[in-house]
């Protein structure tokens, strides 16, 4: 079933590229909407994979807006998102996009 989720810390095309390439193998095609805030991702997702998506997004630094995170978790995901964003930008610059 196609579902849309609001995600935090997504700032640019580098972030979007990281999400698309990092989620593709496990979750399939991901659309990232950079024209709205909070940013949204849309993908085909079965309910039993929802928790796995939530954990993967958090590991990348892009938690769901609905996640209840402690101050430390928020700071950690923000820091991770900077690294993920930089990797996404490098991949775009070097042509390693999916």
What CA dihedral angle connects 43, 47, 48 and 49, to 10 degrees?
20
Could you tell me which of 27, 52, 56 has the C-alpha nearest to residue 42?
27
3-class DSSP state for residue 96?
coil
| Domain coordinates in residue numbering, the chain | 2-93
Tens of pLDDT, residue by residue, the chain (98 residues): 999 999 999 999 999 999 999 999 999 999 999 999 999 999 999 999 999 999 999 999 999 999 999 999 999 999 999 999 999 999 888 887 66
Q: What is the pLDDT of residues 52-68, one digit of tens each?
A: 999 999 999 999 999 99
| 0.75 exceeded by pTM | yes
CATH number 3.40.50.10490 given to 2-93 = no
């Amino acid at each position: 079933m196609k579902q849309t989720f609001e995600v935090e810390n997504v700032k640019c095309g580098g972030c979007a590229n990281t999400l698309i390439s990092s989620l593709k193998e496990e979750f399939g095609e991901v659309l990232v909407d950079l024209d709205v805030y909070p940013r949204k991702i849309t993908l085909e997702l079965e309910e039993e994979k929802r928790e796995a998506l939530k954990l993967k997004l958090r590991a990348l630094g892009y938690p769901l807006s609905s996640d209840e995170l402690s101050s430390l978790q928020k700071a950690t995901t923000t820091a991770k998102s900077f690294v993920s964003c930089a990797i996404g930008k490098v991949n775009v610059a070097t042509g390693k996009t999916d």
